[in-house]
Every structure is written in structure tokens, then in C-alpha cells.
A = this chain, B = another copy of it.
Amino acid sequence: MLFFTQCFGAVLDLIHLRFQHYKAKRVFSAAGQLVCVVNPTHSLKYAPTRCAVAQTSAEQGSLPPCHHHEAVHDPQLVPCTCPLFSCPWEGHLEVVVSHLRQTHRINILQGAEIVFLATDMHLPAPTDWIIMHSCLGHQFLLVLRKQEKYEGHPQFFATMMLIGTPTQADNFTYRLELNRNQRRLKWEATPRSVLECVDSVISDGDCLVLNTSLAQLFSDNGSLAIGIAITTSKVHNGEAEM
């Protein structure tokens, strides 16, 4: 009996995923875009107290406590870059991707342009939606985080980090695009390296930031579709803009 109940649950889940996938495809109708349904994870690493400490020290101009590369003594080794869990793992940069896949079960997607469909946006903060994106010979970590920077006012923060060095990261530009209800919001920036911790990028606010009201305007039935594109940045002169 339990077996049948579980089977029925699994079938319902599949139908639900299929439906969400179809919805995302309808919104992002451009041919060739891969839609990836990303379920939320309630962050076990990230607690409000830790956030407050990181934010306070960032405001004071000192480095937040999560700047991993400050703590690593062997320059060849980097700590685990998973934003979800505190993990004692250390290893070479080249094996971070396989560690994230195998130990933290973070999915990886191929393709220059993908659609990240974050489900259950209503879940309380802190919540993370995470995926890896393989593109142009490199791997990127996309993090969408719901967080209460100001108590009682959750916001959404989205950023893309290169699983590589800051020098390698400077060669790329990433774009996050929201598009719904005759509104469009685009954020373009150079990705940060995972050696700079995602917590500090979010506490600095140097990413796509959405209030709850804007997130609702762009959401469809509790799911937020973010179009992602990565390109190589050809021009490297800091001020040559527009």
C-alpha cells in the first residue's frame, strides 16, 4: 500500500515538473534555450545571525568572515565553495566542480543560454536556488538567494560566479534577464570568482536585487524564470561603456 502511495506521489511530482517545464518554455519561446527547473534548498549554512555579522563587518570596511581565500594558507588549495553547507573540504580549483556535484548534489547544465526556473519563491528566507552552468570551456555557479537583509523584508539576490580565478573571471560577462507582463529587467556584469565568497557579493548588493513586489510581478504561479547568457568580454577598458 505504501509502495503504491509513493509511486502515485512520484507520478504527481513528474506531472508537476513537466507542467512547470512547459510553462517556462512558453515564456522563453526562443528556440534552443534549455529550461532547467531548480528547486529551493533551505540553507543550513546561512543563518540570520551569521548574516548580521557578515553585514556589519562589511559595513565597517573589513572583509566579511567568509572570505575563504584569506584563510587558505596553501595557495594551491581552495575550500569548498558550496553556498549551502559549511564543509571542511579543501582541494585544487580543478576538482571543485566534481566536489560540488558529488558531495553537494548540485546539478550542472550545458549551453550558452539557459533558463533557470526557480520554484516555490514563497518559501521563507533564507532559501537558496543553485545550479552550475558549463559554458565557453568554464563552469559557473548561479546562486539565487532569498534573504532578509532588513528584518521582515525578504529580498531576492541573483549572481553568477566563475569556478576559477578572479583573472579568469574578468574575461566573461554574464546577463540575467527577467521578462513577464510587458516588463523586462536585465542585469549584466563581470562574474566574480568563487574564491570571493557569494555571501560577501550579496551583502555588498553587487548583484541583481529584487524586492518581493518585483519578484511577484515577474513570477508565474510561484516560479521565477531567469534567462541566463554568458559571453566573453572583448573590451577590457574599465570605463568604455554604452
Chain A residues near B (Cβ < 8 Å): 26-30, 150, 153, 173, 177, 179-190, 204-206, 209, 211-214, 217, 227, 233, 238-242
Q: B30, B182, B183, B241: which contacts A180 (Cβ < 8 A)? A: B241
Task: Pick the contact of A30: B153, B204, B227, B242 (CB < 8 A).
Answer: B242
State the Cβ distance, A158 to closest chain B Cβ, in Å. Answer: 12
Beta-carbon contact of B182 and A184 below 8 Å: no
* Chain B residues closer than 8 Å to A204, beta-carbon distance: 213
Q: How far is the CB of A84 from chain B (nearest CB, A)?
A: 24
Complex: chain B residue closest to A240, CB-CB: B29
Pull 26 A–B residue pairs with CB atoms less than 8 Å apart, ordered by A.
Answer: A26-B239, A27-B242, A28-B242, A29-B241, A150-B150, A150-B153, A179-B241, A180-B241, A182-B189, A182-B190, A182-B233, A182-B238, A183-B188, A183-B189, A183-B206, A184-B187, A185-B188, A186-B186, A204-B213, A205-B212, A205-B213, A205-B214, A205-B217, A206-B214, A206-B217, A209-B211
Q: Tell me, in angstroms, the Cα distance from A190 to B180 when the chains sit together.
A: 12
Chain B's closest residue to A58 (CB) is B213
**Number of identical monomers bound together in the oligomeric complex:** 2
**Residues of chain B contacted by A227 (CB below 8 angstroms):** 242
Determine whether the beta carbon of B238 is less than 8 Å from that of A181. Answer: yes
Q: Give the interface centre of A180, A205, A211 by most chain B CB atoms within 10 Å.
A: A205
Could you tell me if B187 and A185 are in contact, using CB atoms closer than 8 angstroms? yes
Residues B179 and A184 in contact, CB atoms below 8 Å apart = no
How many angstroms between the C-alpha atoms of A217 and B190 in the bound complex? Answer: 13
CB contacts (< 8 Å) of A188 on chain B: these are 183-186
A153: B residues at CB distance < 8 A: 150
- A213 touches which of B189, B206, B213, B214 (Cβ 8 Å): B206
Which of B181, B186, B211 touches A205 (beta carbons < 8 Å)? B211
A190 to B182, CA, bound (A): 7
Closest 8 CB pairs of A and B: A205-B213, A184-B188, A186-B186, A183-B189, A179-B241, A179-B242, A205-B211, A182-B190
Q: How far is the CA of A121 from the CA of B30 in the complex (A)?
A: 39
CB-CB under 8 A for A29 and B179, given A213-B206, A214-B209: no
